[in-house]
């Protein structure tokens, strides 16, 4: 009986020690992130979209590289100094003899400036029209195509910067779209080559509230008499319709307008 009692005592001691070890090794109880009885949510992990800059993101020209070692001057020959080589003459923008594309739909022409274009009225709705501005809506995609003209003294590059200033009024966080799928292949308007760029960002409502991702494509060109910009604005540009994106489909439809563009002449 003494042996049995000793065995039971040792077993009870072992169980008690094990219980103390288990109790001491347990992690502390989690601390509530908020005051009891009040709802709360974790803080945001990203900065708010409204903090994005509204200024145009125009990259500065690269600095001219300097030679690693100074180049010794060439001794001047006796007699008259040698004249520097002449600067190359400016090359005119090439034009095409091909006639404008006729879509067989509706047409628009400026009464005072003389330029015009064709558009498919089954797809586009003319929502705004002045002598130098036409805005076409593509209701199915909630997209817009804007065609604007100004005097030929404005270069295509300067016209592009003007459009960016307008775009920054309704798009925040604008960045250049470098996706090969969205790239412009030889931007031109009415067969006249020009400037082009593609951007992405967040479109805003009239009160500045962020509404949806957006894609903007800009093309500018000049025939010397007038300078024209074509701007394509697409909400949710990466939404898929079959194997194509919304931006690709809208730009394809707008391309027919661009190809039908007639530079015309002053009335």
Domain segments of the chain as ranges: 106-259
All residues at 6 or more sequence positions from 257 whose CB lies less than 8 Å from its CB, including other chains: 117, 118, 119, 124, 136, 145, 147, 230
Q: What is the mean pLDDT of the chain?
A: 77
Burial of 156 (0-12, 13-18, 19+ CB in 10 A): buried
Please tell me the pTM assigned to this model.
0.61
Place of tokens 């009024």: 169
Q: Which CATH number, 2.40.160, 3.30.70, 3.40.1000, 1.10.20, labels domain 106-259?
A: 3.40.1000
Compare 26 and 112 and report the one with higher pLDDT.
112
Q: Report CA-CA distances (Å) from 261 to 119, 154, 173, 254.
A: 10, 19, 32, 11
Q: pLDDT (tens digit, 9 = 90+) per residue, 70-90? A: 333 433 344 444 454 454 444
Taking only the tens place, the pLDDT of each residue in 183-236 is: 988 899 999 999 999 999 999 998 889 999 999 999 999 999 999 999 999 999
Q: Which residues, 6 or more positions from 115, have their beta carbon under 8 angstroms from its beta carbon?
A: 109, 149, 226, 228, 261, 262, 263, 264
pLDDT, tens only, 21-34? 676 666 665 555 44
């Amino acid at each position: 009986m003494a042996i049995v009692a000793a065995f039971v005592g040792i077993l009870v001691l072992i169980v008690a020690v094990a219980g103390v070890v288990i109790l001491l090794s347990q992690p502390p109880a989690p601390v509530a992130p908020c005051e009891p009885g009040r709802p709360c949510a974790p803080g945001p992990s990203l900065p708010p979209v409204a903090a994005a800059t509204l200024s145009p993101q125009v990259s500065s020209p690269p600095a001219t590289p300097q030679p690693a070692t100074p180049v010794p001057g060439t001794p001047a020959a006796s007699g008259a100094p040698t004249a520097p080589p002449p600067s190359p003459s400016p090359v005119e923008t090439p034009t095409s003899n091909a006639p404008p594309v006729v879509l067989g739909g509706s047409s628009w022409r400026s009464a005072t400036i003389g330029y015009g274009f064709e558009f498919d009225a089954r797809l586009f709705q003319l929502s705004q029209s002045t002598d130098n501005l036409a805005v076409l809506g593509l209701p199915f995609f909630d997209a817009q195509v804007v065609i604007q003209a100004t005097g030929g003294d404005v270069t295509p590059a300067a016209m592009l910067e003007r459009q960016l200033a307008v775009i920054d009024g309704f798009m925040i966080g604008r960045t250049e779209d470098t996706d090969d799928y969205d790239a412009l292949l030889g931007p031109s308007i009415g067969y006249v080559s020009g400037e082009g760029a593609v951007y992405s960002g967040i479109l805003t409502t009239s009160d500045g509230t962020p509404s949806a991702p957006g894609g903007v494509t800009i093309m500018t060109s000049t025939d010397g008499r007038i300078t024209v910009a074509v701007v394509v604005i697409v909400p949710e540009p990466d939404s898929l319709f079959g194997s194509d994106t919304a931006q690709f489909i809208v730009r394809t439809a707008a391309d027919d307008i661009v190809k039908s563009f007639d530079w015309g002449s002053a009335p």
